[in-house]
């Protein structure tokens, strides 16, 4: 007779196929939680879906309403649909044409999980009650990454970059941009993780087609990244003729007690 823990270890896993009903996907996640009691750590070769949303909060909004938005977004971790979720105020926005104040970054095991998260009643409630009434602008980009090995640590810094390519470029030029952005990690040793990919959700992306997230230990390493001006300029020169616009924001993951 197997003990209860032994029976738990032997629970089967259900393959997550797009055609399966939501109940089976939820059952699979329940089995996963029972089988794995330690924090999820993804293989460096396993694909992860990245989801980044930028918000521009109206300048005259009461701070309590802004706090309610941030707390509501961070509370969506309770849905157990994400590998990682963090929301908060941007450290800085580096675009002259588009300015944002806050960011949500989350990661998912599949596009199905992202779709289920977007349609979940609690997510819809936060969007309707806490976000829409207080923002002037919003932008969202989604891509698949092969280099998102672990959730970013609390307190780590992130440089998030969005690229809008010039019109009528072919696949060779697009591949060139992806290769150059993906190679930045080799040039800047302080970058712990670099997630790069092509946006697959176009409705709210404002024409930006390529995105990346560089994760660094903290804000100090982010500042040091900027101090290496010659190397930064060299990397930009490789693709500047292929780009129509670049949007860059810096963000620090909140401490654990705030997430």
Selection from 58, 145, 140 nearest residue 103 by Cα: 140
pLDDT of residue 233: 79
- Strands 157-165 and 243-252 turn out to be antiparallel
pLDDT of residue 256: 63
Is residue 150 assigned to a domain? Answer: yes
Report how far residue 162's alpha carbon sits from residue 4's, in angstroms, rounded to the nearest whole number.
Answer: 49
pLDDT of residue 229: 75
Is residue 4 assigned to a domain? Answer: no
Is residue 27 assigned to a domain? Answer: no
The predicted-structure confidence for 6-42, as pLDDT tens digits, reads as follows 443 333 333 333 344 444 455 445 434 433 333 444 4
The predicted-structure confidence for 226-239, as pLDDT tens digits, reads as follows 888 787 778 888 99
Report how far residue 232's alpha carbon sits from residue 222's, in angstroms, rounded to the nearest whole number.
Answer: 13
Count: domains in the chain: 1
Mean pLDDT comparison of 10-14, 30-34, 46-50, 162-166, highest-scoring range: 162-166
The predicted-structure confidence for 198-227, as pLDDT tens digits, reads as follows 999 999 999 999 999 999 999 999 988 888
Q: What is the pTM of this model?
A: 0.80
Report how far residue 45's alpha carbon sits from residue 36's, in angstroms, rounded to the nearest whole number.
Answer: 20
pLDDT of residue 19: 41
- Average pLDDT of 114-129? 97
Is residue 126 assigned to a domain? Answer: yes
Residue 214: phi, psi to the nearest 5?
A: -100, 120
Domain ranges, residue 234: 48-258
What percent of the chain is modeled with pLDDT above 70?
80
Is residue 114 assigned to a domain? Answer: yes
- Average pLDDT of 169-193? 92
Q: Where in 134-206 does DSSP place strands (E)?
A: 135-145, 157-165, 193-198
pLDDT of residue 7: 41
Instruction: Report the CATH number at residue 69.
Output: 3.30.70.100
Q: Which two tokens stand for residue 128?
A: 């309707």
What percent of the chain is modeled with pLDDT above 90?
63
- Average pLDDT of 187-196? 92
- Which residues are CB-contacts of 224 (< 8 A; sequence separation ≥ 6)? 190
Report how far residue 217's alpha carbon sits from residue 213's, in angstroms, rounded to the nearest whole number.
Answer: 13
**Is the distance from CB of 112 to CB of 25 less than 8 angstroms?**
yes
Is residue 56 assigned to a domain? Answer: yes
Is residue 180 assigned to a domain? Answer: yes
Confidence of residue 96 (pLDDT cuts 50, 70, 90): low
Dihedral (CA of 250, 256, 258, 259) sign? positive
Q: Any idea what DSSP says for residue 74?
A: H
Is residue 37 assigned to a domain? Answer: no
């Amino acid at each position: 007779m197997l003990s209860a823990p032994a029976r738990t270890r032997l629970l089967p896993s259900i393959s997550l196929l797009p055609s399966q009903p939501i109940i089976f996907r939820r059952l699979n996640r329940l089995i996963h939680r029972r089988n794995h009691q330690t924090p999820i750590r993804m293989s460096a070769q396993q694909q992860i879906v990245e989801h980044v949303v930028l918000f521009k909060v109206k300048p005259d909004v009461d701070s309590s309403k802004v706090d309610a938005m941030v707390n509501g977004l961070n509370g969506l971790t309770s849905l157990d649909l994400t590998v990682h979720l963090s929301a908060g105020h941007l450290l800085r926005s580096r675009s002259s044409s588009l300015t944002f104040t806050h960011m949500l970054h989350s990661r998912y095991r599949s596009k199905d999980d992202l779709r289920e998260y977007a349609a979940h009643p609690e997510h819809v409630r936060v969007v309707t009650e806490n976000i829409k009434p207080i923002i002037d602008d919003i932008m969202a980009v989604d891509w698949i990454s092969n280099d998102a090995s672990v959730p970013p640590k609390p307190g780590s810094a992130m440089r998030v970059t969005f690229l809008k390519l010039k019109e009528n470029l072919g696949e060779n030029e697009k591949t060139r941009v992806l290769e150059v952005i993906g190679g930045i990690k080799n040039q800047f040793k302080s970058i712990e993780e670099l997630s790069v990919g092509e946006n697959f959700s176009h409705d709210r992306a404002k024409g930006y087609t390529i995105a990346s997230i560089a994760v660094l230990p903290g804000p100090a390493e982010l500042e040091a990244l900027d101090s290496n001006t010659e190397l930064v300029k060299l990397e930009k020169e490789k693709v500047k003729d292929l780009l129509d616009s670049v949007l860059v924001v810096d963000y620090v993951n909140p401490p654990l007690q705030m997430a």
